[in-house]
Amino acid sequence: MIDDGKITVLIGPSGCGKTTTLKLINRLIERTSGDIQFDGISIDKIDKIQLRRSIGYVIQEIGLFPHYNVFENISVVPKLLGWDKKKIKNRVKELIELVNLEYDEVVDKYPLELSGGQRQRIGVARALAADPKILLMDEPFGAIDPINREILQDVFLTIQERLKKTIVFVTHDIREAIKLGDKIAIFNKGTLEQYDGTLSIIKKPKNDFVKNLLGKNAELNFLEFVKAEKLLKNNFIIVKSFEEIKKLKSKCYVFFDKKYEGFLTLNDVKNKRKNLRKEYINFDNSVLEGINIMFKNNIHYLPILKKGEVIGVLEYNSILGE
């Protein structure tokens, strides 16, 4: 089961079957048993060529066609689908801008004239050209240096936030898997070891293989990449003044009167603390930053703000669950 609009990462050592699995989806390799379905329809019932044209496909760096310039590379599938020229041109422009490149600067260039990072962005733009629902990506950032890889991953996540494609992403880098994956499928020697939400896997690795793959820093990696809003809890009460804190019902009291004013924890209230704590975290900052703030101030709660509104709190004890 691959979730719509989410990134599913396939990970495992080389030869584990992750790339093969990817290629089964666009039928570059045919299955010998089992079934793959889109919206309940077996892919065997869809014409192979049509199927592939409706799925974006990105592989490592070299996948750009060397004899085509950037424009021609991006417009391959739209041309195959018979779009008219104007529509193609608009689409190419839109895509180049989407991947944060200057249209006029790169459109006439050939792959050999681009940097590794630029090539990869064009690769992603090309896969998105015909607006496919599904995107298959096979170690797309594998050949790129660490710094640029981080940048590309961030660009990629921003794009995904907007487009909400269903993405199947192959990598052998666990950091990348944790950063990008909503769900992770872990493969070993042709078998699926574990398939679950990223956090669930980190919390409950099924066996030693998964544990070793995750490594010692899995939780930290996860917290570094996951946004605060994803782990928000609702066990807080909004109050306007101290008077409203009567019955000690909640562990966290957020003061909010048209705007965020601060908060107090249950302990603060018990200790009769008078001045409000002013700390908070933005919804799109990482949980790790939140933990940092909590450490510095020796608190177990931190309100999460989005556009001035309090949408929840980070709760130290529940960040990594029970």
Partner 1 sequence: MYIFSYMFSNFDMVIQRTLEHLFIFFLSWFLSSAIGIFIGIYITREKRKKYTNLALSITGITQSIPSVAVIALIFLFMGIGKITAITALFLYGLVPIIFNTTSGIVSINSNIYEVAKGMGMSERDILYKIEIPIALPAIFSGLRNSAVINIATATVASVIGGGGLGVIIFTGLSHYNAPMIFAGVVPVSILAVGVDAFLGALEKKYVSKGLINEI
Least distance between partner 1 and beta carbon 239 (Å):
57
Using the rule CB under 8 A, is 112 a contact of partner 1? yes
Residues 6+ apart with CB under 8 A from 242: none
DSSP code at position 233 = B
What would the x/- binding string for partner 1 be over residues 227 to 256, using CB under 8 A?
------------------------------
Using the rule CB under 8 A, is 76 a contact of partner 1? yes
β-strand pairing of 37-38 with 259-265: unpaired
Tell me whether residue 52 or residue 183 sits nearer to partner 1 (CB atom). Answer: 52
Q: Which residues is 253 bridged to in the sheet?
A: 237, 264
Site for partner 1 in 118-177 (CB under 8 A): 126, 136
Using the rule CB under 8 A, is 36 a contact of partner 1? no
Nearest to 64 by CA among 149, 1, 126: 126
Q: Of the candidates 38, 83, 110, 209, which one interacts with partner 1 according to CB under 8 A?
A: 110
Using the rule CB under 8 A, is 68 a contact of partner 1? yes
Please give the sequence-ordered ranges of beta strands (E in DSSP) within the chain, or none if there are none: 7-11, 37-38, 41-42, 55-58, 134-138, 166-171, 183-188, 191-197, 237-239, 252-257, 259-265, 281-282, 301-306, 309-315
Tell me whether residue 63 or residue 303 sits nearer to partner 1 (CB atom). Answer: 63
Neighbours of 102 (CB within 10 A): 9
What would the x/- binding string for partner 1 be over residues 197 to 226, using CB under 8 A?
------------------------------
Using the rule CB under 8 A, is 62 a contact of partner 1? yes
Q: Of the candidates 65, 105, 204, 249, which one interacts with partner 1 according to CB under 8 A?
A: 65
The answer to whether the CB of 22 falls within 8 A of the CB of 170 is yes
- How many Å apart are CA 202 and CA 303, to the nearest integer? 24
Least distance between partner 1 and beta carbon 91 (Å):
15
By CB under 8 A, name the binding residues for partner 1. Answer: 23, 26, 28, 49-55, 57, 59-60, 62-63, 65-69, 76-77, 80, 110-113, 126, 136
